[in-house]
Structure 1
Amino acid sequence: MDSVTNAMSVDVEDWFQVQAFAGVIPRGDWDALAPRVVANTDRVLDRFARAGVRATFFTLGWVAERQPALIRRIVAAGHELASHGFGHERVYEIGPDAFRADIRRARAVLEDVGGTAVTGYRAPTFSIGSTLTPWAHPILAEEGHRYSSSVFPVRHDLYGAPDAPRGPHRPRPDGVMELPMTTLRAMGRNLPCAGGGWFRLLPYPVFRAGLRRVNRREQRPGIFYFHPWEVDPGQPRIRSAPPLSRFRHYNRLASMAPRVDRLLRDFAWDRIDRVHAADIGLS
Structure 2
Amino acid sequence: MARHLSERLSNALTIDVEDYFQVSAFAPLIARDSWPSRPCRIEANIERILLLLETRHIHATFFTLGWIAERYPVMLRRIAAAGHEIASHGYGHLRAWEQDADAFRNDVVLSKTILEQLGGQTVAGYRAPSFSIGAANLWAFDVLQEAGYRYSSSIYPIRHDHYGMPEAPRFAWRPRGASGLLELPISTVRLGRRNMPAGGGGYFRLLPYALSRQLLRRINARDGQAGIFYFHPWELDPGQPRPPGLPLKTRFRHYLNLGRMQARLERLTADFAWDRMDRIFLKADYA
* TM-score normalized with structure 1 length: 0.97
Partner residue of 2:205? 200
Distance 2:255 2:267 in 1: 20
After superposition, the C-alpha distances for 1:20-79 in whole angstroms (9 at most, x for unaligned) are: 211100011000101001110111011000000000000000000000000000000000
1:132 Cα offset (Å): 1.3
Partner residue of 1:212? 217
Partner residue of 1:132? 136
Distance 2:249 2:101 in 1: 30
Partner residue of 1:166? 170
Q: Write out aligned runs for 1:1-283 (5 A).
A: 3-129=8-134, 131-174=135-178, 176-278=181-283
Distance 1:171 1:97 in 2: 20
1:280 Cα offset (Å): 8.6
Distance 2:198 2:78 in 1: 29
1:277 Cα offset (Å): 2.2
Contact 1:2 1:268 survives alignment (8 Å): no
Distance 2:284 2:68 in 1: 29
Distance 1:128 1:40 in 2: 28
Q: Which runs of 4+ in 1 moved over 4 A?
A: 279-282
Distance 1:20 1:36 in 2: 18
User: What is the SS of the residue equivalent to 2:203?
Assistant: helix
Q: Count the aligned residue pairs.
A: 281
1:2 Cα offset (Å): 6.1
* TM-score normalized with structure 2 length: 0.95
After superposition, the C-alpha distances for 1:163-215 in whole angstroms (9 at most, x for unaligned) are: 00111001122362100110000122100000010000000001100110111
Structure 2: tracts of 5 or more residues without a match: 1-5
Identity %: 53
Contact 1:68 1:113 survives alignment (8 Å): yes
Structure 1: tracts of 5 or more residues without a match: none
Superposition CA RMSD, Å: 1.4
Distance 1:281 1:215 in 2: 16
User: Comparing 116-125 with 170-179, which one deviates more in the overlay?
Assistant: 170-179
AA partner of residue 247 (structure 1): F
Contact 1:147 1:280 survives alignment (8 Å): no
AA partner of residue 213 (structure 1): R
